[in-house]
Chains A and B, each alone.
Chain A
Amino acid sequence: MSLELRGITKQFGSLVANDDINFKVEAGEIHAILGENGAGKSTLMNIVYGLLAPDKGQILVDGQEIKIKSPLDALAAGIGMVHQHFMLIPVFTVAENIVLGHEKTNRAGLLDLATAREEIIRVSKEFNFEVDPDALIEDLPVGIQQRVEIIRALIYNSKILILDEPTAVLTPQETDELLANMKKLRDSGRSIVFITHKLREVKAVADRISIIRRGKVVGTVQPSASQEEMASLMVGRPVDLTVNKADGKPGKTILEMVDLNVLDTTGRALASKINLTVSAGEVVAVAGVQGNGQSELAEAIVGLREHLTGSIKLSGNELIGRSVDECLKAGIAYVPESRELDGLISSFSITENLILDTHGEAPYSKGIFYKPAMAHQVALERIKEFDIRAQSANDPASSLSGGNKQKVVLARELSRPVELVVVCQPTRGLDVGSIEFVHQRLISERDSGRAVLLFSTELDEVFALADRIAIMYRGEIIAIVPATASREEVGLYMAGIRTATAKGGAA
């Protein structure tokens, strides 16, 4: 079946997320939609799937216009979707999740899960998925959860499959498997809409590529088009994502972790046997697929984790056992993974956010007295220095765009007297302009002699910034390689494969 969108427009308040979008995917085709974060890809697909109502526009399946008011209509029209945030109930079994919304009941009015189980096993066999119908979703790794979503779409007999950033949570190996399965599905006659912002994947599987920028389709190209062409369409100007930097000049050791274990409350290790040092004037990147213990390790360094064994030393001083406040004051700048959740208080003013971790110090306070006027003055300076685009320092942080929010966090953290900068996923969800700003700033921090520890799941970012790369897999650092290592090698480590070529290995 083919799917065509005509003139789809959607506004959120004053923001035009989708602006007169025209798009078509033919039967038996993989059509990729490529766009920066916030370009409006998910919005568009949620409209097609009936989760959002468009302000304007038509949806046609096989040339016939259809009205999609809810996901039921989409499913009935043969449209299935694998969501960016999985739509699975964690406390349900696989089978329960799959029948939800399409329940069959027996004579007594009770659920009939038997048919669903058979179907799941049948589809699993066909695609080598190995999914247990009676496993609880919350017990399954994300890769398998994604398969459950695909199985669900196939059981509903979807002829048009939408995959919204399916590779974001996968290892390079899992990604390859997924791409292969996508081809298999296409060859069985299904149409696939493949959403991503990663150029490489697009080139690997897509038959055609549409590029969206700021809610508009700015071009449709063949996979033979060059990466540079696609990137400049995506961003709207020629981009060069390589960061200009000289080689690092590592100085004395700033951060030293020895046999560090990060445990959860039940005593299970979330990160184990961590041995890593970061020196002044170098960027060490911790790479790895999301969920391999990086976040926990970062949190451990700043005192956000309670159950630790081993040692974390900052310029020779032990950090384990200290509170977050003490760790920060010891000389660490911390940019957390989630700006919205951990980095900022969105209902607080920009000023208040800029002094969130220094509010107890002069000049913002004296004794227990808080001095808002002083805070305001300093905030104005920071806003100027970091080029934060805001109407007023008294506006709530929620009024800022993603890039400016991140600048607020950076301004706050980097303005303190610190030796070590710990940054986690610093450019996640940012536009290219902001990404460039953040990257430049991190390099200049390095060049000014600070030690930088970067946690990133984006290989591009890792290679752009790092002087050394540590790869985490299942809570362990399985290799430390120089920045000159090949992408393939790092990719293999990320999948947990320890190659023989690995030298300079896990010291």
Chain B
Amino acid sequence: MIKKILDKTLLPLFAFLLALFVGGLVIGFTDNKVLAKISSPIEFLKILGSTVGNAYLALFQGAIYDPNLAEGKSFMAGFYPLSETMVATAPLILCGLSVALAFKSGLFNIGAQGQFIFGAVGASYIGFKYEMPMVMHIMVATLAGLILAALWGGIVGLLKAKTGAHEVIVTIMLNYIAAKFLLFLLSTQYFLRPGRLDPIAPSVKETAKLPSLFGVDYRVNIGIFIALAAAVFIWWLLNRSIIGFRFRAVGANSSAARTAGISVSAAMIATMAISGALAGMGGAIHTLGNQYELTDTVAATFGFDAITVALLGRGTPLGVVLASFLFAGLRVGGQTMQANVGVPVEIVLVIQALVVLFIAAPDLVKRIFKLRNLQEASAMASKGWNG
């Protein structure tokens, strides 16, 4: 049992360490203070170590616990960064689940970004336009976003099922279309905040805002629980429902699934609609819980981070939750790192890319760490454009 868990976590762990190491080298070797000492090896290593160490410490403080914040206040106050990480984690989990679910059905959903946008659009519109009682407003707004995003995602499944159009190409294109469409919406009278020219919608009404968990000082809200609930639901769907059985069958061998009487088209369309709904829910809770107002950059990079999250999490709901937390922490902590020690936050992107690269190439990690019995990653088989 322990061995099994170890097997599963060892590769991601080593991949992450390796990525941190390479990221550290990038930080160190681009630092003038470090480079100045390059002639004396001992000094050089010392300052290299301290520079990188300080950067990662700042990152940790920005993501989890900052003693400086606790000073003079309660111990708990130092956890403010953690609350911010949770804020970023919630939408990421939902987007990550969106990609992960599609993986299980054999589809590579690069379109979480666009689906997220539609989720945000739907939630925002209901949120600022209508008056409703508290709980109901949240539910209706979320549902609106979810439905829009499910339709947007469903298009992909429909095209794939009916015409064989490769979902990767379609979702890449749909992401751009969604982004341009959002820009268009925000220039219309329906969405543009009165008196503004830049693309921004009115703020959602108080009744539509997600209740926060720890009072006004912290932004963290029930969104994180919604996301966790969604993860549990997806686990159930995949492993304990016949719908999930079909999804997995289609994902593993669509031709055998079809021969056994499973409708591949239906599975694809349903998968993409549910995937879309998940990412859309991410967009909705991000809008209703964190942003409150729709802008052209509302989706930030959630949809793209979701792909790295799903890959790092190996497509399982639990993995997605953990990976989301990790990457959200990197993102949030990265801001502090940039502010405190001047290391640009973009290093986080580099680390993120490297983690996924190493995860995808287990042979490389095995070779570097001389691991033998590491469980093979259930590597996403390359199917190619025609597959």
Contacts and interface: CB of A to CB of B under 8 A. Distances in A.
Are chains A and B touching directly in their complex (CB below 8 angstroms)?
Answer: yes
Interface of A: 302, 304, 323-329, 334, 336, 341-348, 352, 356-357, 359-360, 365, 368-370, 372
11 contacts: A304-B259, A328-B260, A334-B259, A342-B255, A345-B249, A345-B257, A346-B253, A348-B252, A348-B253, A369-B240, A372-B239
Contact of B242 (A329, A346, A357, A359): A359
Given A341-B255, A341-B256, A370 B261 contact: no
Contact of B252 (A326, A327, A345, A369): A345
B244 interface: yes
A329 B255 CA distance: 19
A40 B168 CA distance: 40
A365 B252 contact: no
A368 B243 contact: yes
B241 A342 contact: no
Contact of A359 (B239, B245, B259): B245
A342 B96 CA distance: 31
B263 A323 contact: yes
B262 interface: yes
B180 interface: no
A10 B243 CA distance: 44
B261 A323 contact: yes
A305 to B, nearest CB: 11
Nearest to A343: B256
A114 to B, nearest CB: 33
B261 A348 contact: no
Contacts of A336: 259
Contacts of B243: 368
Contact of A370 (B241, B255, B258, B260): B241
Contacts of A352: 245, 249
B259 A342 contact: yes
A324 B257 CA distance: 10
A495 B263 CA distance: 38
Given A342-B255, A345-B249, A346-B253, A357 B261 contact: yes
A356 B263 CA distance: 12
Given A343-B259, A368-B243, 20 more contacts: A304-B259, A323-B263, A325-B261, A327-B261, A328-B260, A341-B256, A342-B259, A344-B256, A345-B256, A345-B257, A346-B252, A348-B249, A348-B252, A352-B249, A356-B260, A357-B260, A357-B261, A359-B245, A368-B241, A370-B240
A327 B261 CA distance: 8
Interface of B: 239-246, 248-249, 252-253, 255-263
Contacts of A345: 249, 252-253, 256-257
B252 A370 contact: no
B151 to A, nearest CB: 22
Contacts of B260: 324, 328, 356-357
B263 A325 contact: yes
A269 to B, nearest CB: 23
A328 B261 CA distance: 7
A371 to B, nearest CB: 8
A270 to B, nearest CB: 18
Nearest to B266: A323
A293 to B, nearest CB: 18
Contacts of B241: 368-370
Contact of B244 (A326, A342, A346, A370): A370
Contacts of B249: 345, 348, 352, 356
A431 B242 CA distance: 36
A347 B252 contact: yes
Contact of A342 (B240, B252, B256, B262): B256
Contacts of B262: 325, 356-357
Contacts of A328: 260-261
A370 B245 contact: yes
Contacts of B246: 359
B261 A368 contact: no
Nearest to B248: A348
Nearest to A299: B259
A370 B242 contact: yes
Contacts of B259: 302, 304, 324, 334, 336, 342-343
Nearest to A325: B261
Contacts of A346: 252-253
Contacts of B248: 348
Nearest to A348: B252
A360 B242 contact: yes
A295 B241 CA distance: 33
A432 to B, nearest CB: 26
A65 B342 CA distance: 67
A247 to B, nearest CB: 33
A356 B256 CA distance: 9
Nearest to A339: B256
Which of B242, B248, B259, B263 has most chain A Cβ within 10 Å? B259
B376 to A, nearest CB: 12
B105 to A, nearest CB: 13
Contacts of A348: 248-249, 252-253
A341 B252 CA distance: 11
Contacts of A359: 242, 245-246
A145 to B, nearest CB: 21
A17 B256 CA distance: 28
Contacts of A368: 241-243
Nearest to A361: B242
Contacts of A365: 242
Contacts of B261: 323-329, 357
Contacts of A357: 260-262
Nearest to B254: A345
A120 to B, nearest CB: 30
Which of A327, A328, A345, A360 has most chain B Cβ within 10 Å? A345
B73 to A, nearest CB: 49
A324 B246 CA distance: 14
Contacts of A370: 239-242, 244-245
A355 to B, nearest CB: 9
B162 to A, nearest CB: 12
B239 to A, nearest CB: 8
Contacts of B256: 341-345, 356
Contacts of B252: 345-348
A352 B248 CA distance: 11
A291 B116 CA distance: 48
Nearest to A365: B242
Contacts of A342: 255-256, 258-259
A334 B51 CA distance: 67
Given A345-B249, A356-B249, A359-B245, A324 B240 contact: no
B37 to A, nearest CB: 50
Contacts of A341: 253, 255-256
A348 B262 CA distance: 15
B14 to A, nearest CB: 25
Contacts of B245: 352, 359, 370
A336 B258 CA distance: 11
Nearest to A355: B245
* The 6 residue pairs across chains A and B that have the minimum distance between CB atoms: A325-B261, A357-B260, A356-B260, A345-B253, A342-B259, A324-B261
A58 B156 CA distance: 55
A369 B253 contact: no
Which of B248, B253, B260 has most chain A Cβ within 10 Å? B260
A344 B245 CA distance: 14
A369 B242 contact: yes
Contacts of B253: 341, 344-348
Nearest to B250: A345
B185 to A, nearest CB: 36
A18 to B, nearest CB: 27
A286 B255 CA distance: 24
A357 to B, nearest CB: 4
Nearest to B249: A345
Contacts of A360: 242
